Structure 1
């Protein structure tokens, strides 16, 4: 990195080219106050408190906007500057009340006042407590505009606005009234940015109390945002983003900032429990583990190893999941191991691995700022992956890129898109086949890339020849010309970056749908270069890692097929792997229903609430002879069906690693001591293995020791030592200690060779169809303010924002049916019914419904079907025919 030498207060200082003088002063530890400056934003001087004197210039210069240059001479603390700052801070002290300095000592204005010995003189207040997570007092606003700028330039929400000029300036939310009535999404960036007590955390957070800050990774979605957890008295009292994090770049979403209270919830179960005839009974670890070991061994002896199964957790660390997979194979002797990736992105992994040789994202989040076109298919990142969604939205708002959005609903990104293809749920494949047909029919394919890297073009061209936009339009419900426009835009705009979500994968043809996206990228050469590629937006914090650590029946750690990794793994483990193939999650349930699987160990996964067709799923769970749940809470699976409950630590209470959706492995660090008798998952598994007589190879001193074994069996991760992962993590492949990691896959070769083949695909309509009895088409999904089964989010301050699920439909349908906002309705499918409140949502098309599945009191999955993807058996959550009726008041 190029450096320059400047002089500050008579001392020679080396500075990095591109830095501002303020950044240099901050690094040296004697920077002046900078109340309008935010390191996440471009300089926009207002307060002038950071002004410095520059040799050769008559007037002071704002150091936040002054770039360093060779030979620059600066004075930062002259008597004149001191007098100016003191005078200006005295004026600003009128916006601060005396108690503010003690209540919010971390605020920049309060620190400056304290340093200058200036007593605050503010008296009044203009309090707005309409938002449950953000407290507002605009009497303390100093008009620095940091909140408005960070909301506009980082989050892109434009909630805060300043009206008027001079003394009459006023800060107002976009509602014109209260913050609670605004479009605020509670990311908390404005609270971070505010240098006063005008905006502070509510909802239980009190960052001023923090005695220690721990750098870690968020426990929610697969974006992998780094955060700092402020703790006091073994409680999380503050959360703030890591400013230099490569993933989130100093930003968080509402779940990351306000959803970390789950570890200290009173709902936690902190002792092992056994179910007796009269209900749950607390016990000690020895009794619980002995019971589990005895019953597992008895089932193994009576029915064989394959009568048992284990499910890893997308919320647990890589180390936990590696030992989970090892427990199944090494201790139980079965490949019956899986995780929740089966019901979300198993189709993505299968399609990517089959066609490209690696079952993971090909690109990096930083490609968001490099691309010129986004293809967003079946994903709503602004709600489900908000930090990535904000980065995409900002590129579109700046005009730096265009977007094609494939989604039945008119989402935020669809509003900004050049082309929105609002297809009928379940018709992704015909749409993508038609786009490929246009590319080939109009000669828009990348002939050079295909000649160098792609086979089977002629066979593929024949397979899509009849898939004209007109044919697809009749099935998908979109205009043929819109399909042509999207195909032309994707083929002609370089580079183009694809993000897809569960709207692609949770279909009867989810794997083929992702294959169709890959075919399109290969046809157009949109892969293997910065700003291009294919990327599944992973739903949970470590769903990529849980499957990648071997928690799936056909793969070992590293996503390596059993036979390909058998020799290496057997050498490291010192034990032969099972020879018989294993069952995946859905197959295990089928086998349980049939009486072939008798025992199941489930880590951090609420099967009863989240699996489709609850009646059938529950019947399978009821038939088990032994169900052991290892979790934080007595979730629906444990409460209804488990025989033993083992209390696990939360990810706030243990060390390890997560793997995010861009293949980045990141360090997770304990910010709290384990609550009660809870233990890390890997310690529980090791203790259980010892009681079963298979403890050798399952005992480790630390999470790092487990990770070092992972690196032995996974060549592409051998260079990912804890020391190298310390700040920001690295992306695999990373094969040795000198490897910087891999930001873009498939630049020169695919995972299985230099060339790959296009895959002809056939469309099979979903058997779940609407008719006169079930005329509405329902899709299910997540919401910004809750997370999956709400195990964590429902035990946090987020519950105040989204206390239950809703059924969403458009205003025209509501008016036609005489339904109103908030009214309770009953939704009935061919399998069951649910009752929930109605919400009017302009994003929906007539005849279509959308609902979340977070609330166990609603139990929405009583409605969803047992239809499965034929490749990997992922359920079809997105296509459900239902009837709708009003619940009498």
Structure 2
């Protein structure tokens, strides 16, 4: 609803839903404020934003616009109030800070109204304990923005007001900032108007002289970043205030863990291993060597002897080119990615049942949901921006929350129901929930009648999975199963989020079938605020999964067999019709001696694959192992060539986040040293192999335009449109068409009707025994990312310096283990030594270990068992014993 107001004698039409401050700022009028930030609720406490409305002074941040208002923003009465407020605040404010940082909000206001500070600095008010943030309370004006930001947006309540009246002080909840409950998101720094809280990097390198918007290189949320550059160097990162994904928020990794690009051990020149030692060479020599060896191996053993593995940290364009290189140049379908190795059950399950291997809805639907079920996801640590959004909605009573997880993770603390099942018993639990929904008549009968098949067959399977039976297997009380099932089915719309805790099982794909079954039974598909959302682990897992880096699928995630002719025409070559080997099978083939050469883009196979001892033996047998990466890793020990890759801050392209949103990656700085973007490395390799004419691309945009021609769902997404409109979810089939945000509204991609898929429980082979009495779960922490190759080279390493294993208090007592002791974890497959944490998060008989540091390398222990359908490792269930070591 638009209203008309008059400002300083000029009439304007504005949105009637805005506050007066928002309206005035959108119209371009300067109205200072200190306690207001558009990410926070209005306070009206500083009174700096006062304006005259019809002759009366009001705080504009707490006043809604109304039709007919006559506003003065700079009358003498208004200016007098603002000067007085600023004088009071400036009495003890340090003069030096005002002179050094004139661009700060408070300093700009003082300058405009002719107010100068009179104070000096006290060293006892400066806290340098934190690796990223400097606290200087000499500059605190008690605007309470940091307190409100931490309370209202992050929900951590770190900053608190101590004392009363004129003696009030803002302090963290610990002895110093580094030892507080802070999670280092940096939001308090963003909202601080004075620099009392400031990024250490800015104090070291200076304030940026330019900003570039790009997309975060970490998890699959896809937060947008504003990256600050000074003298050609990145000096700061801030959250994009215009992003619909992160809404002005970031986590510690996106906000601060970017300094790995300047790490002293980054590889910046090509390397060839000679007699066990790395030797620097030119790009021509390195590329020539790789091409020569590949030609020899192909001539001797054939295309089945070579393979390509691609990490999900590279762009969509580079993912596409890697798969194209494997098929066009090497003639093999032995191409796979980490996206398939961790989240293939998500893509396969959604594709099998609904027809599209991606999230059914977008993150915008979180605000519309009435119930959210989080399955196998430590969301506030692994996907913090989304996790905090869900957590705060639950804390405020705006959404009901069900958490299914063996651990009592942070988000479980906010759940209405925490179903703490025994690891590996998910199938029984979800069958029992379906049993309740059917037996109590809670299905959406109209939706099922119109759009769902297979109900009778499904009922026959779940009939025997009563909540009482499930309680015996899962350990979850029958009454909790009933109540959670009723809540999900009746308090609609309901959304399901899941992570690797749902997929990394021998029945991972079938668990996803079950989650889809629950959504179909209750009509929670194809509607706003409902649906199914796999929380992707890496920044471009969703893109990787659909760009063709798959042994049985081509770009667009289309089956190899049915689409061979179309891609032969597009690429101009005959393609190998035989399905290739996936990543697990390639390692097995190398062990047998059948795979002779492997090119790895941005992955640490040795650190990430299960049963590390066997993986090491397999890779040591390869005749050629080529790494394309930024850093040496555990796989480097077995590599013959290292090609230095540019970081995402040093190249152009796109990423696709967990909600199917394609977003621009923009070059912020020039590549360091002689590093090159992966797409240029692939083109050089293709040319050296004699296929230069098939890889004539001058830019990532050229590659993207070919992807648009190969995959109709993204035809309407051009670089120009992404610049104009921001990130767009696919499908966006037309140049002028809006993106499809909610899938399966009137029909599924597979057709009008979807079929329920009943699943029978098959216990994991990794059951506890007398020799191995504990069940080990592996996962990530807030401060590190996957194998840690990036985060271990940042200040996050200071905050979380090593891997750990969580053990319950009861188990620790029985084993004689104290908090911080080193313990040996042993399975039938290997052992690792790691530091113990005594924790209430895990139940008796269960342990949880992190996976980021090569010193511990917990994957020595992990079972080689794989999913029955998608063939991904069962990282979440391994039988182990735990012993204290001196």
The verdict on how the C-alpha distance between 1:673 and 1:429 changes in structure 2, with shifts beyond 3 A counting, is: same
Q: 1:108 aligns with which of 105, 110, 122?
A: 105
2:550 match: 552
| Residues 207, 239 of structure 1: 8 Å contact kept | no
1:79 match: 76
| Residues 47, 85 of structure 2: 8 Å contact kept | no
Residues of 2 paired with 1:573 and 1:21: CA distance? 57
* Greater mean alpha carbon deviation, residues 42-51 or residues 658-667: 42-51
| Residues 816, 884 of structure 2: 8 Å contact kept | no
| Residues 9, 74 of structure 1: 8 Å contact kept | yes
Deviation of residue 699 (structure 1)?
Answer: 2.2
Instruction: State yes or no: 1:99 paired with 2:96.
Output: yes
Residues of 1 paired with 2:518 and 2:203: CA distance? 47
| Residues 206, 230 of structure 2: 8 Å contact kept | no
Residues of 1 paired with 2:104 and 2:608: CA distance? 42
| Residues 360, 744 of structure 2: 8 Å contact kept | yes
Q: Secondary structure at the match of 1:882?
A: strand
Q: Secondary structure at the match of 2:719?
A: coil
Q: 1:459 aligns with which of 457, 460, 474?
A: 457
| Residues 205, 237 of structure 1: 8 Å contact kept | no
Instruction: State yes or no: 1:64 paired with 2:27.
Output: no
Residues of 2 paired with 1:29 and 1:792: CA distance? 42
Residues of 1 paired with 2:821 and 2:112: CA distance? 56
Unpaired stretches in structure 1, ≥5 consecutive residues: none
1:703 match: 700
1:41 match: 40
Q: Secondary structure at the match of 2:882?
A: strand
Aligned residues: CA RMSD? 1.6
Q: Deviations over 1:743-792 (max 9, x none)?
A: 11111111110101111212111111211111111110000000001111
Deviation of residue 121 (structure 1)?
Answer: 1.9
| Residues 768, 879 of structure 1: 8 Å contact kept | yes
1:371 match: 369
Residues 621-770 of structure 1: matches in 2 within 5 Å? Answer: 621-638=619-636, 640-726=637-723, 727-770=725-768
1:19 match: 18
Unpaired stretches in structure 2, ≥5 consecutive residues: none
The verdict on how the C-alpha distance between 1:556 and 1:105 changes in structure 2, with shifts beyond 3 A counting, is: farther
| Residues 44, 61 of structure 2: 8 Å contact kept | yes
The verdict on how the C-alpha distance between 1:151 and 1:599 changes in structure 2, with shifts beyond 3 A counting, is: same
Residues 412-811 of structure 1: matches in 2 within 5 Å? Answer: 412-638=410-636, 640-726=637-723, 727-811=725-809
1:151 match: 150
1:875 match: 873
Residues of 1 paired with 2:276 and 2:377: CA distance? 46
Instruction: State yes or no: 1:307 paired with 2:296.
Output: no
2:835 match: 837
Q: Deviations over 1:598-649 (max 9, x none)?
A: 11110001111111110111111111111000001111112x1110000010
| Residues 371, 531 of structure 1: 8 Å contact kept | yes
Q: Deviations over 1:687-722 (max 9, x none)?
A: 110110111231211111110110000001100111
| Residues 806, 849 of structure 2: 8 Å contact kept | yes
Residues of 2 paired with 1:261 and 1:464: CA distance? 52
Residues of 1 paired with 2:308 and 2:295: CA distance? 14
Deviation of residue 265 (structure 1)?
Answer: 1.4
Residues of 2 paired with 1:808 and 1:168: CA distance? 42
Deviation of residue 95 (structure 1)?
Answer: 4.5
Deviation of residue 576 (structure 1)?
Answer: 2.7
| Residues 782, 852 of structure 1: 8 Å contact kept | yes
Q: Secondary structure at the match of 1:387?
A: helix
Residues of 2 paired with 1:202 and 1:537: CA distance? 32
The verdict on how the C-alpha distance between 1:96 and 1:566 changes in structure 2, with shifts beyond 3 A counting, is: farther
- Alignment length, in residue pairs? 883
Q: Deviations over 1:507-536 (max 9, x none)?
A: 111111111111111111111101111111
Residues of 1 paired with 2:779 and 2:802: CA distance? 14
Residues of 2 paired with 1:331 and 1:367: CA distance? 43
Q: 2:825 aligns with which of 804, 822, 827?
A: 827
Q: 1:247 aligns with which of 245, 255, 259?
A: 245
1:407 match: 405
| Residues 203, 797 of structure 1: 8 Å contact kept | no
1:386 match: 384
Deviation of residue 180 (structure 1)?
Answer: 2.4
* Greater mean alpha carbon deviation, residues 586-595 or residues 216-225: 586-595
| Residues 408, 842 of structure 2: 8 Å contact kept | yes
Instruction: State yes or no: 1:89 paired with 2:86.
Output: yes
2:31 match: 32
| Residues 444, 491 of structure 1: 8 Å contact kept | yes
Instruction: State yes or no: 1:273 paired with 2:271.
Output: yes
Residues of 1 paired with 2:45 and 2:204: CA distance? 28
The verdict on how the C-alpha distance between 1:205 and 1:394 changes in structure 2, with shifts beyond 3 A counting, is: farther
| Residues 207, 238 of structure 1: 8 Å contact kept | no
* Greater mean alpha carbon deviation, residues 3-12 or residues 535-544: 3-12
TM-score by length of 2: 0.97
Residues of 2 paired with 1:96 and 1:780: CA distance? 50
Residues of 1 paired with 2:352 and 2:84: CA distance? 68
Deviation of residue 4 (structure 1)?
Answer: 3.4
| Residues 2, 16 of structure 2: 8 Å contact kept | yes
Residues of 2 paired with 1:684 and 1:549: CA distance? 18
Residues of 1 paired with 2:204 and 2:493: CA distance? 45
Q: Deviations over 1:279-322 (max 9, x none)?
A: 00000000000000011111111111121111122000001101
Residues of 2 paired with 1:29 and 1:840: CA distance? 56
| Residues 748, 754 of structure 2: 8 Å contact kept | yes
TM-score by length of 1: 0.97
Residues of 2 paired with 1:509 and 1:104: CA distance? 57
